[in-house]
Amino acid sequence: MCGILAVLGITDNSQAKRSRIIELSRRLRHRGPDWSGLHCHEDCYLAHQRLAIVDPASGDQPLYNEDKTVAVTVNGEIYNHKELREKLKSHQFRTGSDCEVIAHLYEEYGEDFVDMLDGMFSFVLLDTRDKSFIAARDAIGITPLYIGWGLDGSVWFASEMKALSDDCERFMSFLPGHIYSSKTGELRRWYNPPWYSEHIPSAPYDSLVLRKAFEKAVVKRLMTDVPFGVLLSGGLDSSLVASVASRYMKDSEAACQWGTQLHTFCIGLKGSPDLKAAREVADYLGTRHHEFYFTVQEGLDALEEVIYHIETYDVTTIRASTPMFLMSRKIKSLGVKMVLSGEGSDEIFGGYLYFHKAPNKEELHQETCSKIKALHLYDCLRANKSTSAWGVEARVPFLDKEFINVAMSIDPEWKMIRPDLGRIEKWILRNAFDDEHNPYLPKHILYRQKEQFSDGVGYSWIDGLKDHANQQVTDAMLANASFVYPENTPTTKEGYYYRTIFERFFPKNAARSTVPGGPSVACSTAKAVEWDAAWSNNLDPSGRAALGVHVAAYEETKEAKDDSSGYACPQKVQLEKNVVTV
């Protein structure tokens, strides 16, 4: 994963301004520590911090067309770049970089080529022939991008807010699936899949079609020239990613360089549900498994750095980002630069525990559509920025464009949780990989209850966060929160604590407006809170807030002392308690 910064149409073209842009680009160097590049044309600058994954030797950016009249700075991976090169036989390529096709596609097709790209990407392209430019972001927003405007009329783009927030009067998150053209000065949506309209689909469920679509999504993400692995929590989603990657590893080009044994990584407090489940999956698949531990205190000590990197004050995102941030540092120390991860499945299949209360298939489908559209503000942001903080790239096969189209075309009646029919959450995905003759996973892992990452690393992690926030924020501070923070007012001491840290790093009004708000239970949208009247009194993003659904729900736990951290935590939950029997 790389870092990009583009400044276009500035009035000050002095050496001091060039130095300022280099300084701002340096704020993104954690994303791309391998090389720095800068292209300047009159009053336009394209800067790049590179993390070399494909063609490390010659793929430095910015990238160009044949005569260098078109320049592009890109953050991302284009998985179908070889197929696209076949369409561009008349063009001369300078590098083996997957991203170079963007400059040539623009030459060939103008601004209407973005939908041809299969991958995750954010890019800014400058056409020096008429000084026009475009910027675009991938369909779901897997890669981050911000757009800003300077007082001098300049337009700015950056992978992270920290690179433009000081110099722009106004800025915002660049919308996923959109393209900005300087010729119109407007954003327009280039990504228009059938599910986006939220009309209720009616395609029958075909388990084999779903399975093949996911396997294809995983295999295409094995494109790499550097060591890689899989983030394995032991839950359904990451376990399926690991299983499919392990199964197809021997036939991949990566195997020629790095061998056929897959590396897997997991983090948690000692004794946590994820560690035990991940170890079992790793042993079953025969991966080279790396198990990392952290303490509640180590997590607390990292909070400020985590919030600086992930650029949000959303409670559930910070809870889950902290262990992921710590794990990414350990992964990078092993020489690994790319990982596959399981984000997106819960949004697509209605996997969060609150979906047990979905009243009908129509509301379930609309909720899944809303969740997918908001992923760039939550799980995509977390997965990308937590790993990129240490120069590690996260790829997410569940958010493959083709796979989403297949999964979102299925009649949502199949996604409804029906205990009377033996269907738990994400049943259609579990069933698709329930192969008696050639098993992908052990049965009890395949049917393990959903465990949110911030819960699965150890329940005392969230309890420790709450206790720490209670010590930092007084009752009076929370009572006056609406006066101090009138926009997106925090309603808990934990939320208030994160907000104070965020505001210290990003004090502008525009910054706080990039973070979503509203009531939520177990990661629901505000609309889904209405599905159960009891939830309005228990608004918490943890899966354990799904009262009457989670096997270790808040109301059913007893407080106990964790000797290693000194923080109150729920009673130890045996792995068997995390298994749903149907």
Q: Give 156-201 as a 3 state SS string.
A: EEECCHHHCCCCCCEEEECCCCEEEECCCCEEEECCCCHHHHCCCC
What is the distance between the alpha carbons of residues 166 and 7, in angstroms, rounded to a whole number?
13
2 is catalytic: yes
pLDDT, position 448: 80
pLDDT, position 566: 30
97-134 per-residue burial string, b: 16 or more CB within 10 A, e: under 16: bbbbbbbbbbbbeebebbebbbbbbbbbbbbbeeeebb
Binding residues: 98, 231, 267, 341-342
In this structure, what token pair is assigned to residue 75?
A: 């953050």
pLDDT, position 311: 98
pLDDT, position 457: 72
User: Own/partner pairs for 271-274, CB < 8 Å, 24+ apart?
Assistant: 271/458, 271/572, 272/456, 272/457, 272/458, 272/459, 273/234, 273/451, 273/455, 273/456, 273/458, 273/573, 273/575, 273/578, 274/233, 274/234, 274/235, 274/451, 274/453, 274/456, 274/457, 274/458
What is the distance between the alpha carbons of residues 470 and 463, in angstroms, rounded to a whole number?
11
Distance, first Cα to last Cα, the chain: 41
pLDDT, position 454: 52
Contact (CB, 8 A) for 513 and 487: yes
What is the distance between the alpha carbons of residues 454 and 288, in angstroms, rounded to a whole number?
24
Residue 62: asked if its preceding bond is cis (omega within 30°), the reply is yes
pLDDT, position 556: 42
**Nearest Cα to Cα of residue 470 among 382, 402, 539, 567:** 567
3-class SS of residue 155: strand
Name the strands in the sheet holding 170-173, side by side, starting at the edge strand that comes first in the sequence: 35-41, 44-50, 3-8, 155-158, 146-149, 170-173
3-class SS of residue 505: helix
By CB atoms closer than 10 A (0-12, 13-18, 19+), residue 561 is: exposed
3-class SS of residue 3: strand
pLDDT, position 529: 85
Binding residues for L-glutamine: 98
What is the distance between the alpha carbons of residues 529 and 399, in angstroms, rounded to a whole number?
25
CA separation, residue 484 to residues 184, 496, 502, 506 (Å):
39, 10, 14, 15
Residue 452: HSE in the Cβ half-sphere, 13 Å Cα cutoff: 30
pLDDT, position 273: 85
pLDDT, position 549: 64
Sign for the pseudo-dihedral over CA of 212, 53, 323, 144: negative
pLDDT, position 520: 72
Chain mean position to CA 316: 13
Q: Which of 2, 369, 380, 523 is catalytic?
A: 2
**Nearest Cα to Cα of residue 291 among 249, 233, 227:** 233
Question: How many C-beta neighbours within 10 Å does residue 210 have?
Answer: 21
Residue recorded with tokens 């009053």:
43
CA separation, residue 513 to residues 304, 335, 381, 485, 541 (Å):
20, 37, 15, 12, 20
pLDDT in tens, 488-506: 999 999 999 999 999 999 9
Would you write out the chain's pLDDT as a tens digit for each of its 582 residues? Answer: 799 999 999 998 889 999 999 999 999 999 999 999 999 999 999 999 999 998 888 878 999 999 999 999 999 999 999 999 999 999 999 999 999 999 999 999 999 999 999 999 999 999 999 999 999 999 999 999 999 999 999 999 999 999 999 999 899 999 999 999 999 999 999 999 999 999 999 999 999 999 999 999 999 999 999 999 999 999 999 999 999 999 999 888 877 777 889 999 999 999 888 899 999 999 999 999 999 999 999 999 999 999 999 999 999 999 999 999 999 999 999 999 999 999 999 999 999 989 999 999 999 999 999 999 999 999 999 999 999 999 999 999 999 999 999 999 999 999 999 999 999 999 999 999 999 999 999 998 999 876 655 566 767 999 999 999 999 999 999 999 999 999 999 999 999 999 999 999 999 999 999 999 877 766 778 888 889 877 767 666 555 555 556 655 554 443 333 333 332 232 222 222 233 222
DSSP code per residue over 517-551 = -S--STT--TGGGGG-GGGGG---SSGGGSTTTST
